[in-house]
Structure 1
Amino acid sequence: MSRSSHEPITGKTKTWIQCGDKVASELFGKSCETPDINWYPGHMLKAKKELSKQLKRVDVILEMRDARIPVSSVNHDFEEMLQQKKRILLFNKSGLADEEITKKWTAIFNKAGVPFLFIDSLNQFKLNKILPLCRKMMEEKWSTFTRRGIRHPSLKLMVTGIPNVGKSSLINRLSRRKAAETGPTPGVTKHQDWIKLGKDVELLDTPGILWPKIVNHEAGMRLTITGAIKDSIVGTSLLCDYLLYVLQQKDPEQLQQLYKLAPKDINLLPGDLLERIAEKRGCLKRGGVIDHPRVESILLRDFRAGKLGRLSFDLPETTEDFS
């Protein structure tokens, strides 16, 4: 198997083992090593400090996670900071997640008694449930104002979560205008702004924040493939190897149909399979040489656009690997 090496990988660690699926490193060969997957630019540390200062003004936290990685997208640095606040978990991009796995997660969170919603920031129907749920959580506190004949204060919400999880898109939908900047790459929002959603609702938009060191390599790969970490931190070559392996295990038919592959192609090693996709898509340089950057870009773009089917990476039966 010939793997592309156009992107340097630094900070190498021991041979990667996929924790969630228990797949040993022979997938990529015994010499394959992965980088430390860490991305914590200065604006994240600053944002975390500012977020802590704003907490006392906030009534309800809207903590956004990716529905495809509901465990891997937990920022444990927030847990202690936010535990004294009312909180709703919003699992966004549910339209890209495997429906059967989402049902399993729904049962788990229902059993835990945690307020949550699986949403899609592009689906207004599901978003319409958020504010009523927030108001219901405030009923007891607001009742003291009602008994005294006083109008309760504005409902103050804070949106938190990892980068590129859809916070700004959610805010724009809730406010029904472009109140927050959006983009396909992580790290678009770098400032914290209060946004009025109506006469009695204010919402604080916060930048996506990761944690300083991602210890679990599988979680790091999942965060990167779903867009929370810049592709360049890992390298598109390794990302495509990982994605193709997962697709081979979970949805080979979708892969075969989209790229018009032969049934036997599905059993190729990821690097060889990528080259077969390159041939099918005409990603060739002069002399028939594989254009790795081009085919890698196509594969990642197709996946993120949902063309490769609905795929969940965190499975309920493997949550112990991310504790």
Structure 2
Amino acid sequence: MLLSIPFPPLPSPPSWFPGHMNRFTKQLPALLSRTDIVLELRDSRLPLTSINHNFEGAIRKWRAERGKVTYSSQPLRGAAVEPSPVSGYGGMTCERIIVLNKRDLVPEWGMEPFRRAMASRFPEQIIHFASCNRREDIKSLSALLVNIAKRNPHATETNVLVVGMPNVGKSTLLNSLRDFGIAGRTPKALQTSAQPGHTRALSNRLKLSEDPLVYSFDTPGVMLPFLGRGDEGAERGVKLALIAGIKEGLYDVEALVAYLLYRLNILHPVSPAYLKILPPGTAPTPSVSTFLEQLARRLGMLLRGGECDTTRAAKWFVEWWRREGGLFSAAAPHALPSAVPITGSQGQQPQPGRGSVVRRGWGFDLEWSVEKGDFVPDVAASILEHRMGECIDEFVERTQEYERQGGTVSQTQEKKRTWEEKLARRAAKSKAKFMARKKGF
């Protein structure tokens, strides 16, 4: 068992925001005017990090134009506030469904507490866990879309816009919904890829249901233009790279291994998932070099002279986790042996006199400390919901503060924006002089 799990040093996040992402971001308000349901996909392993805050402003405006109540995110308790008076489309359908995709890669025991914690803070959002490998998930999501469409019997059709970050599974999910909702054999309508950025343009309309008529659009995955400064931005970037949400090659693979090793140790410090691929009897370790040497020897990845090929082993380990290791992580039990103290994420020792302290996590975004008595069966679910709610509150408050400080814009982007504003002022001034001379004639 690990008694110290130090946080690894992480590289600065790269900038990856191709032109097709920028174009779609500008198109979003116009697309929402023709949309009845927003289906926003996030990754269950990163239920908070995979939120794209650039969508929020356009979606709030869309809801207000349709006369829907907006919920304030400031108190984070779902307090309703009346929308601004608008001459909108109050009778039209306006629903936002958050699909936490790839649910098979996170432990089952945390799903319902997380859903309740989110629903209590964002009651205007419908939270739905799904995996394309589970037919019952696709069936329930399809039924949800159909039931929403039936609420407005006067509408000739219902349009769904699917949005999300790269590689969260938008195209794959739409193919599955089409297969379920349309009778008979249906050809694969959308091309999919394990690499981010495969979908680069808005798709043609895709029929998801015939009665009632439900159509959808697939959209390009959109990354944040700037992942952030300091440790927070560095951690956000590594998390997204691990789920293949950032273009391959922008990160050194050993940096990904360092963070992945840290997270797997936090998820289960007694028996982390990576022990399944190391020699029998190997103990957990926070050391990247030790781990990679052990893995390379186990896999027979050796260079001339018997030296371990750690670079090759690092690539194999990341691919193994994406392909299989996540399933092992998802099988981690709810409770750990609580008689032995475990240190926190920064290696702090438990405070004396507080009993046995256990550091636990769910996915890669939620992490908290619990004590021995917290895992009483009849109160475990409520405690989990409370712990997860604290993580959500902290994340949203931190994000809001970061935005207020201008942390969502890089120095390069700020300089570019300042230069564009300067050019616009020059152009306006030149035009004003030209018009003045023209009037003089």
Give, in angstroms, the shift of residue 259 of structure 1. Answer: 2.1
1:275-303 Cα distance to aligned partner (Å, 9 max, x none): 21111111111112222332112101110
Give, in angstroms, the shift of residue 125 of structure 1. Answer: 1.2
TM-score, normalised via structure 1 length: 0.82
Instruction: Confirm whether residue 121 of structure 1 aligns to residue 112 of structure 2.
Output: no
Give, in angstroms, the shift of residue 153 of structure 1. Answer: 1.4
Greater shift, 255-264 or 74-83, is seen at 255-264
**For residues 108 and 288 of structure 1, what CA distance do their matches in structure 2 show?**
52
**For residues 216 and 322 of structure 2, what CA distance do their matches in structure 1 show?**
28
* Equivalent position amino acid for 2:281 in 1: A
Out of 28, 53, 58, the position equivalent to 1:76 is 53
Is residue 103–residue 129 contact of structure 2 (8 Å, CA) maintained in 1? yes
Counterpart for residue 383 of structure 2 = none
Counterpart for residue 201 of structure 2 = 191
Counterpart for residue 178 of structure 1 = 188
Counterpart for residue 313 of structure 1 = 364
Is residue 66–residue 165 contact of structure 1 (8 Å, CA) maintained in 2? yes
Give, in angstroms, the shift of residue 234 of structure 1. Answer: 2.0
Is residue 73–residue 223 contact of structure 1 (8 Å, CA) maintained in 2? yes
Backbone CA RMSD of aligned residues: 2.1
* Equivalent position amino acid for 1:101 in 2: G
Counterpart for residue 6 of structure 1 = none
Higher relative contact order (CA 8 A, sep 6+): 1
1:75-108 Cα distance to aligned partner (Å, 9 max, x none): 0000111121421000000000122332331221
Distance change in 2, residues 1:101/1:221 (3 Å)? farther
Counterpart for residue 208 of structure 1 = 221
- Any residues of structure 2 matched to 1:50-65 within 5 Å, and which? 50-65=27-42
Is residue 175–residue 197 contact of structure 1 (8 Å, CA) maintained in 2? yes
Instruction: Confirm whether residue 159 of structure 1 aligns to residue 162 of structure 2.
Output: yes
Distance change in 2, residues 1:261/1:222 (3 Å)? farther
Distance change in 2, residues 1:253/1:222 (3 Å)? closer
Is residue 159–residue 203 contact of structure 1 (8 Å, CA) maintained in 2? yes
Is residue 240–residue 300 contact of structure 1 (8 Å, CA) maintained in 2? yes
- Any residues of structure 2 matched to 1:1-12 within 5 Å, and which? none
- Any residues of structure 2 matched to 1:2-151 within 5 Å, and which? 27-28=7-8, 32=9, 34-83=11-60, 84=63, 85-112=94-121, 113=123, 114-140=125-151, 142-143=152-153, 145=154
Give, in angstroms, the shift of residue 219 of structure 1. Answer: 2.0
Structure label with greater radius of gyration: 2
Unaligned runs of 5+ in 2: 64-93, 180-186, 331-362, 367-387, 400-441
**For residues 266 and 282 of structure 2, what CA distance do their matches in structure 1 show?**
14
**For residues 10 and 99 of structure 2, what CA distance do their matches in structure 1 show?**
34
Give, in angstroms, the shift of residue 236 of structure 1. Answer: 0.8
Instruction: Confirm whether residue 299 of structure 1 aligns to residue 276 of structure 2.
Output: no
Is residue 88–residue 115 contact of structure 1 (8 Å, CA) maintained in 2? yes
Is residue 149–residue 214 contact of structure 2 (8 Å, CA) maintained in 1? no
**For residues 231 and 241 of structure 1, what CA distance do their matches in structure 2 show?**
17
Q: Secondary structure at the match of 1:35?
A: coil
Unaligned runs of 5+ in 1: 1-22, 146-151
Greater shift, 173-182 or 130-139, is seen at 130-139
Give, in angstroms, the shift of residue 49 of structure 1. Answer: 2.0
Give, in angstroms, the shift of residue 65 of structure 1. Answer: 0.4
**For residues 10 and 35 of structure 2, what CA distance do their matches in structure 1 show?**
44
**For residues 174 and 7 of structure 2, what CA distance do their matches in structure 1 show?**
41
TM-score, normalised via structure 2 length: 0.61
Instruction: Confirm whether residue 235 of structure 1 aligns to residue 252 of structure 2.
Output: yes
Distance change in 2, residues 1:135/1:268 (3 Å)? closer
Is residue 261–residue 277 contact of structure 1 (8 Å, CA) maintained in 2? no
1:25-71 Cα distance to aligned partner (Å, 9 max, x none): x644xxx5512233211111112223332211111000000011111
Is residue 67–residue 102 contact of structure 1 (8 Å, CA) maintained in 2? no
- Any residues of structure 2 matched to 1:277-292 within 5 Å, and which? 277-292=295-310
Is residue 161–residue 208 contact of structure 1 (8 Å, CA) maintained in 2? yes
Q: Secondary structure at the match of 1:132?
A: helix
Q: Secondary structure at the match of 1:173?
A: helix
Give, in angstroms, the shift of residue 196 of structure 1. Answer: 1.9
Counterpart for residue 12 of structure 1 = none
Counterpart for residue 16 of structure 1 = none
**For residues 231 and 273 of structure 1, what CA distance do their matches in structure 2 show?**
23
Counterpart for residue 14 of structure 1 = none
**For residues 282 and 66 of structure 1, what CA distance do their matches in structure 2 show?**
33
Distance change in 2, residues 1:274/1:261 (3 Å)? farther
Is residue 168–residue 205 contact of structure 1 (8 Å, CA) maintained in 2? yes
1:88-131 Cα distance to aligned partner (Å, 9 max, x none): 00000000012233233122123233312000022221111223
**For residues 34 and 192 of structure 2, what CA distance do their matches in structure 1 show?**
25
Is residue 241–residue 271 contact of structure 1 (8 Å, CA) maintained in 2? no
Counterpart for residue 89 of structure 2 = none
Out of 272, 280, 284, the position equivalent to 2:290 is 272
Distance change in 2, residues 1:233/1:226 (3 Å)? same
Distance change in 2, residues 1:102/1:212 (3 Å)? same
